[in-house]
Amino acid sequence: MKLMLTLMTALGGLLPLAAIVWGGLALREDYRKLVSDLDAIDLVIEAPEGTYASSEAQSAAMYAIREPKFNGGRLTYTYEWSQRLVWAQAMNDLRGPAWLAAGGLVLATVAGVWSIWV
């Protein structure tokens, strides 16, 4: 019975901890890809005159890098730029609380397992 309670307590702590880590890693990966794509699109936009045969060719080059979520003419990549800014702010604001939550989860799990055996 003690072994079963120990395993359940440990899993009860490890699963949320894994979710925090998984979510953080997924967000960072998506953010890095978004930043990389938007930087490449900026290079296409700022390319010297005559680099592309037409504005359609320039648009095709941008679309080849990343297909925009919405196409509003001059506002083609507004959604992606907004997403980049929001994710950057969220990662900065939530880093500390995520570490505190993870630390509290580890301490609570260790205390729970320890209380079973003491």
- Would you give per-residue pLDDT tens digits along the chain (118 residues)? 888 999 999 999 999 999 999 999 999 999 999 999 999 999 998 999 888 989 899 989 999 999 888 876 667 888 899 999 999 999 999 889 999 999 999 999 999 989 988 8
Residue 79 lies in a domain: yes
Residue 16 lies in a domain: no
Residue 19 lies in a domain: no
Residue 87 lies in a domain: yes
Q: Which domain holds residue 57?
A: 24-113
CA angle 92, 39, 84 (to 5 degrees): 30
Count how many domains the chain has.
1
DSSP 27-56: HHHHHHHHHHHHHHHHHHHTPPTTSSSSHH
What is the Rg, in whole angstroms, of the alpha carbon atoms belonging to the chain? 23
Q: What is this structure's pTM?
A: 0.77
- Angstrom CA distances, 5 to 1, 58, 116, stand at 6, 62, 7
Q: What tokens appear for 81 in the block?
A: 């730029």
CB of 45 closer than 8 Å to CB of 77? no
User: Which residue has 């604001």 as its token pair?
Assistant: 93
Residue 94 lies in a domain: yes
